[in-house]
Amino acid sequence: MYLEPSLIPGPQQTINISAKLIQSIKILQYSAEELEQSIAQELSENPAFEVEEFEQCTRCGAPLTGTSCPACGAQADSSANETQAAEDVSWDDYREDYAASLATAGEDEGYDPLTFVRSGDTLQEHLLVQLGSILPWEDQEIAEYLVGNLDSHGYLTVTVAEASVALGVTDTRVECVLTALQGLDPIGIGARDLRECLLIQLRAFRERDKPNPLAESLVARYLGALGEHHFLDIGRDLNVTSTQVKRAWRFIKANLNPFPAHAFDGMPGNSSAGPGAGDQAVLIKPDVIIRRTTVGFESEVIEQRRFRFALHPTYHALTSNGVLRGLPDNERQHVRHYAARAKFFIECVCQRWETLRRICEALIELQPNFLDRGVRCLRPLTRGELATHVGLHESTVSRATAGKYVLLPSGRTIPFDDFFDSSLATKDTLRELIATENPARPFSDEDLAALLCERGLPVARRTVAKYRESMRILPSRFRI
């Protein structure tokens, strides 16, 4: 039998993802900010698309009727209040007061109008102003380079050698500028590591006639051993008692700041967030609200109340009354294209809202005890189980809940992921056990595992250690 290759056409089934389906999936998984940007882009590009936006509370999503939210009491955007306040100012009175202040200024040689302006400098500007008053002008470039290479905690991220090569100056000049920088407020700024940061602060105590020689020795020579609580070994090496070492260690913990840049937020006259602001808690806007009612719980998608979409009246009239037949081909294609695009965009966003609503209603049905009594009553739940209950694909549930938040009836805002994290109840119990332990004899991880088992939460010792580390709680020997 002779065989030879040949092409024979035949039917074959394949899955093709259309561009519309891809766009629908993207809109589903958008965060609230990304959806807002997408709506703004569609509004600017599509003349057939119209949107009406209603002002809402940034904390709970309730409609605003004045300067404060009627639901949670949060204040409205301060910029609106400031604008109204500016409109209410009597500028004639203001000019009279200002003229009077200028008249009295000559009587006081120390008068400076700029002192009445609240400072909004960043930490970098604050440091450069100080350095500009103590350094010669030829060293200002070095100062700007060093200040520009401080990280968010206030540590210098380049070496003296790297700075000298980058600027084409000697190491001595860089060292002099660095010494001046390290003498500024906040104390400890410009250090190259933790040891140098703490020593700079201890040196400031010595200059204020409050020296602590033992603390300086501990930081300079035994910082690692001190962190591991080897008080007895350190005392033996320094010929002091372990009690004295502990006393110096407590002084270091109570008076020294390992993150000097964070202290800038609390400096007088500073109204800016400063570099440490990134570590502060930020307001999380919920995507969905779950409320307690007289008959149970109900959910609401905040975006659905915030936006109202429509087709432009002109395009709606052209597409619904058969007027397109009398238009030229290019105009008819234009109207059809943008009208269809606007309708599809509106359908995708509405489908997003409907999916979120169905998921939240299912969570209310599956996790009522968690909503009613808190995290201790959170039952194990997977996205696959939720998808089966709702009648959606698991990937759809994952996309719809990723990066989105829920405002609970208790007032807490949590990510959707918390509904599927079965470890939260164990972590909450673990946190309570550690908070109520005897400070003189803290529980070991093995002790904590046994106590959790007694409360019906069987976990291994290594699991306790993993949970403890995720909550940034130190081991027992460091909690003394």
Radius of gyration of the chain (CA): 32
What is the 8-class DSSP label of residue 405?
E
Q: Per-residue DSSP letters for 7-19?
A: ------------H
- Token pair, residue 45, equals 């590009």
Angle between helices 329-366 and 313-320 (to 10 degrees): 110
For 3-16, the pLDDT digits (tens) are 677 777 877 776 66
Chain-centroid distance of CA 74 in Å reads 20
User: By C-alpha distance, which of 355, 347, 345 is closest to 402?
Assistant: 355
How many Cβ atoms from other residues are within 10 Å of residue 33's Cβ?
Answer: 10
Q: Which burial class, exposed, middle or buried, applies to 302 when counting CB atoms under 10 A from its CB (0-12, 13-18, 19+)? A: buried
Q: Which residue in this structure is represented by tokens 């400070």?
A: 439
Token pair for 320: 């619904």
Q: Taking 60 as the threshold, does the pLDDT of residue 100 lie above it?
A: no
Strand-by-strand arrangement of the 288-293 sheet: 296-301, 288-293, 405-407, 413-415
DSSP character string of 309-348 = EEE-HHHHHHHHSSGGGGS-HHHHHHHHHHHHHHHHHHHH
pLDDT band at 355 (very low <50, low <70, confident <90, very high): very high
The answer to whether the peptide bond before residue 442 is cis (omega within 30 degrees of 0) is no
How far apart, in whole angstroms, are the C-alpha atoms of residue 362 and residue 174?
63
Q: Which residues of 151-171 are buried (b: 16+ CB within 10 A; e: fewer)?
A: eebbbbebebeebbeebebee
How many CB atoms neighbour CB 32 within 10 A? 16
To the nearest 10°, report the CA torsion of 455, 460, 465, 470: -70
* Res 107 pLDDT > 70: no
- Checking if the pLDDT of 335 tops 70, the result is yes
Which residue stretches of 106-212 are H helix? Answer: 123-134, 140-148, 160-167, 171-182, 194-207
Q: What is the pLDDT of residue 297?
A: 92
Tell me the mean pLDDT in the region 400-407.
Answer: 90
pLDDT band at 323 (very low <50, low <70, confident <90, very high): low
Vertex 154 angle, CA 152 and 160, to 5°: 115
- Minimum mean pLDDT range among 66-70, 98-102, 320-324: 98-102
- Tell me the pLDDT tens digit for each residue of 190-226: 999 989 999 999 988 888 778 888 988 888 888 888 8
- Residue-wise pLDDT tens digits, 176-186: 999 999 888 88
Helix runs in 239-375, H state only: 242-255, 302-306, 313-320, 329-366, 368-373
Burial 88-125 (b: 16+ CB within 10 A, else e): eeeeeeeeeeeeeeeeeeeeeeeeeeeeeeeeebebbe
Q: In 10 A of CB 468, how many CB atoms?
A: 19
Alpha-carbon distance 119 to 131, whole Å? Answer: 17
Task: Give CA 170 to chain center in angstroms.
Answer: 41
- CA nearest 356: which of 422, 283, 282, 304? 304
- DSSP H or E segment with residue 42: helix 32-45
Give the pLDDT score at 330: 85
**Confidence bin at 75 (pLDDT 50/70/90):** low
